[in-house]
Amino acid sequence: MADKHTPQQRSYNMSQVKSKNTKPELMVRKFLFSQGFRYRLHDKKLPGKPDMVLPKYKTVIFVHGCFFHGHEGCKYATIPQTRTEWWQEKINGNRRRDGENEARLSALGWRIITLYECELKPAQREQTLQRLGFRVADRSEALR
C-alpha cells in the first residue's frame, strides 16, 4: 500500500509527535500533584529518563504511547501497512530499550510503574489514576 502523504507531509507529521509533556503525561502529573505527590520530571541521571520521578517513594513512572511502545493486545498498537518491517524494527527497539532501562532501574532499587495511553482514555481513566495513587503510596510490592 502506498503512503497517502508526500515525504514532506510525512516528515512534518512525524516532527509534531511529542515525547515530553504529552496529554496523557500531563493528566497523570495533574492527578499526582492534586493528591499531594511531588515529583521531578525527566531525570537525565536515571536510565530511560523516566517521565516522573518520586524520590520520596523511590518510584519512577513511565507514560508510554501504545503505538510507539508496542502495547500488547491494544487496538492502538497496530503496525502501519507501509514500511511494515521498518516500523516493527523501530517498535521492537523501543520495547527492548524499555526493558533494559527497567532492569537497570530495578537494580538501582527503584520501583517502576508503566502506564499506557489507552489506560488513560475516558472509560478507564478514573480507575487507572486511583490505582496509580495506591501503588505510589504503598511502599510494599504487593500491588505490583
Where along the chain do its domains lie? 20-137
Which helix (H) or strand (E) segment is 73 a member of? none
3-state secondary structure of 113: strand
What region, left, alpha or beta, does residue 47 occupy, with left being phi > 0 and alpha being psi -120 to 50 degrees?
Answer: beta
Q: Which fold has domain 20-137?
A: Endonuclease; Chain A (3.40.960)
Query: Would you write out the chain's pLDDT as a tens digit for each of its 144 residues?
Result: 567 778 777 677 766 666 778 899 999 999 999 999 999 999 999 999 999 999 999 999 999 999 999 999 999 999 988 889 999 999 999 999 999 999 999 999 999 999 999 999 999 999 999 999 999 988 654 334
Amino acid letter, 50: P
> Would you state the pLDDT for residue 143?
38
Residue closest to 117 by CA, chosen among 65, 76, 61: 65
